[in-house]
Amino acid sequence: MAARATRLTPRGLGLLGGGVGLLVLGVLAGVTALVQVGALLLLTVGVSTALLVLTARHHARGGLTLTRRILPHPVEEGSAATVEVELLATRSGRTAPRVDRLTIAERASRELSDGGPLRARVRRSRERLRLDYPITPVRRGRWPVGPVQLSREDLFGVAHWSGPVGEPALVAVRPAISRLALSSSALASDVDRAALGARSPAADDTSLRDYRSGDDLRRVHWRSSARRGQLVVRQDERSGRRPATVVLDLPQHGPTGEWSIRVAASVAVGLAEAGHHVRLLGGDVLGVVPDHHRAGTGTAAAESLLDQTVDLSMPHSPGQRLSWLATAVDTLHADGGGAELVFAVVGELEPGVLASLARTGEVTHGWAMVRTSETGEAVASPDAQRTAERLRRAGWTVCLVRPGEDVATCWQRLLTADDRVVVAR
């Protein structure tokens, strides 16, 4: 943050120099009028500067109340928002210092405008100053705006004060998502009818999972617990659709990673809005949400999932990438219990993590989009083909996708995949 500073303007420096010169000349020449004019100039500079310093100190000690609003917030990348900054003079006694003579400005991160200029509108009154400017974020993340920079000159223009007021704020930018259709009959098999919210045809519409601290003991399934040698509880699905997990594998390549986040976020939001309890696993912001603590459904759940994606970052090394994915898959195995739907957005996987992820297909049906490469190339590498084939053999529905493709197109390709690995065109 820049320091507050008071300095003389060129006019002030000229008056100061002229005043000193006239004062010295008047004393040496014995001309009283020159001494008086010189003293008047010096007094003007001194008093003006002192009054400006006092005003600045009043501002710094709480004489101004700053309010900043970002509407809407959080904002989606590529969408417009408005930053509103309001300065209100705080009354001291019966009067409040005037703020209509202040010059106001604010810096915003270049990610909020793609490096272009920001055009602001300023509205003034004696005790209130308001600054409005539009932003259009071009990158997901949290980007700073502020602090507010104020400046002011005295009435005679001999001194200038400038400095920051208030604290900077961070604008949360969510990924741009696509609205996906989840009503395709491609998901309506007897095995996964619940993906569309349909009731299972079985008389007992429940599933079992391991007991966790805090579970109601009345939900313990004692017969299965005795058979397994550990407590398990019933997970009733009559009241809604099956829970779902979206597994996200982030690559080192930034543009491919951002595209993967958009795909995963679009799928997660679509499932939440369709009535599923959804969690997103992957990256450094794992967001582990146990089954019995999953977020709700609908708009509120979608908002929560999008908030989770704001702080995701790309891995710095292949080892870190695999570590994040392995943690996500381990969490999936520990908390899933076969009762949930699994959707994955992954790249080329090494055998160990691939085998662990593929095992999910033994207990539930999974859908996977496998990136053709980590850098957006159209031709699928042998490792990408191997990853897709291994998941397909384990019971997953798989399609190859090209980074940068339209998300809705990739989704439709996944829904229309059968027992083949559908290749990106």
As for how many domains the chain has, the answer is: 3
DSSP code string of 106-128? EEE-GGGTTT-----EEEE-SSE
Domain assignment present for residue 218? The answer is: yes
For residues 399 and 259, state if they share a domain. yes
Tokens 């529905």 belong to 397
252 in the same domain as 153: no
In this predicted structure, the answer to whether residue 351 has a pLDDT above a threshold of 60 is yes
Residues 194 and 89 in one domain: no
At 367, give phi and psi (nearest 5°): -120, 135
Q: Do 85 and 109 belong to one domain?
A: yes
Alpha carbons within 13 A on the beta-carbon side of 212: 12
In this model, does residue 399 exceed pLDDT 90?
A: yes
242 falls in which pLDDT band (50, 70, 90)?
Answer: confident
Q: What are residue 280's DSSP bridge partners?
A: 246
Is 305 a domain residue?
yes
pLDDT (average), residues 289-316? 77
Residues 158 and 16 reside in one and the same domain: yes
Domain-embedded: residue 420: no
pLDDT of residue 409: 93
Please report the pLDDT score of residue 222 as a whole number: 81
pLDDT-derived band at 418, boundaries 50, 70, 90: low
Task: Please check whether residue 386 lies inside any domain of the structure.
Answer: yes
425 assigned to some structural domain: no
Q: Identify whether 276 is part of a domain.
A: yes
Asked whether residue 168 falls in the same domain as residue 296, the answer is no
The 3-state DSSP class for residue 220 equals strand
Q: What is the mean pLDDT of the chain?
A: 82
Same domain, 217 and 300: no
Complete DSSP assignment for 305-349? HHHHHHT----SSHHHHHHHHHHHHHHHHHHHTT-SEEEEEE---
Sign for the pseudo-dihedral over CA of 266, 271, 272, 277:
negative
Which of the four pLDDT bands, split at 50, 70 and 90, describes residue 309?
very high
Predicted local confidence at residue 277, as pLDDT: 87
Element containing residue 84 per DSSP (H, E): strand 81-89
Cα–Cα distance for residue pair 281/264, rounded to 1 Å: 10
What is the per-residue pLDDT for 274?
A: 86
User: pLDDT higher for 112 or 334?
Assistant: 112
Report the pLDDT value the prediction gives residue 193, as an integer from 0 to 100. Answer: 41
Residue owning tokens 């005790």: 127
Verify that 345 and 314 share a domain, yes or no: yes
Question: Using one digit for the tens of pLDDT, what is the confidence trace for 58-114?
Answer: 666 667 888 999 999 999 999 999 999 998 887 665 555 677 778 888 989 999 988
Mean pLDDT of the region 303-316: 92
At 417, the pLDDT band (50, 70, 90 cuts) reads: confident
Are both 27 and 161 inside the same structural domain? yes
Q: What is the CA radius of gyration of the chain?
A: 32
**pTM (2 decimals)?**
0.77
Do 74 and 211 share a structural domain?
no
Domain that holds residue 226: 207-236
Which amino acid is residue 139, in one-letter code?
Answer: R
The residue that leads in pLDDT, 47 or 184, is 47
**pLDDT class of 195 with cuts at 50, 70, 90:** very low
Q: What is the CATH number of the domain that holds 302?
A: 3.40.50
What's the whole-number mean pLDDT along residues 49-64? 76
Task: Please state, for a pLDDT cut of 70, what percent of the chain lies above it.
Answer: 80
pLDDT recorded at residue 238: 41
The reply to whether 373 and 251 lie within a common domain is: yes
Is residue 363 within 8 A of residue 333, CB to CB? The reply is no
Sorted by sequence, the CB contacts under 8 Å of residue 133 that are 6+ apart come out as 82, 83, 106, 108, 118, 119, 120, 121
Q: Would 394 be classed as within a structural domain?
A: yes
For CA atoms 338, 297, 197, 387, give the dihedral sign.
Answer: negative
Read off the CATH number of the domain in which 164 is found: 2.60.40.10
* Interval 235-240 mean pLDDT: 49
For residue 65, give Cα distances in angstroms to 62, 88, 156, 271, 343: 7, 5, 27, 43, 49
Whether 194 and 119 share a structural domain: no
Q: How many CB atoms lie within 10 A of CB 170?
A: 14
In a domain, 421, yes or no: no
Find the mean pLDDT for residues 241-245.
83
More confident residue, 286 or 320: 320
pLDDT score at 213: 67
Element (H, E) at 62: none
Give the tens place of pLDDT for each residue, 126-181. 888 999 999 999 999 999 998 998 888 888 889 888 888 888 999 999 999 999 87
Split at pLDDT 50, 70, 90, the class of 234 is low
